[in-house]
Amino acid sequence: MQQFLPIAFDSLPKPIWKPVVELSQFFRELTSTTLNVEQLRVMENNIPVLLCKLEQIFLPRFFDSMEHLPVHLPYEARVGSPVQYHWMYPFERHKMSNHLYTIVLYSHFF
């Protein structure tokens, strides 16, 4: 997805296209299997600027606490390890599927 996003939005005007591509590159570098500590420090300094660019493009209601999280990801990768080894997405997905199963199971009793 990180490879196709810049191509998919290539027809957008350049002031909109460039921050979207920068965000894609940010996540591509962040999720790589080898990390450079100095590059992570640069990413850590650049992500607030990138989020400000996105705030100028998108409506304010688009931004909630989830759009704030990329600010912390370079630090977590620098302190921990590559982020894919300590992300919680697989566990949350499993938890959600169990939750939906429980809802369907108990809805038959009412």
pLDDT attached to residue 30? 86
Per-residue confidence (pLDDT) for residue 41, from 0 to 100: 94
Which residue reads 């921990």 in tokens?
Answer: 80
| CA atoms of 59 and 38, how far apart (whole Å) | 33
Say whether pTM exceeds 0.75. Answer: no
Q: Say how far apart CA 35 and CA 69 lie, in whole Å.
A: 19
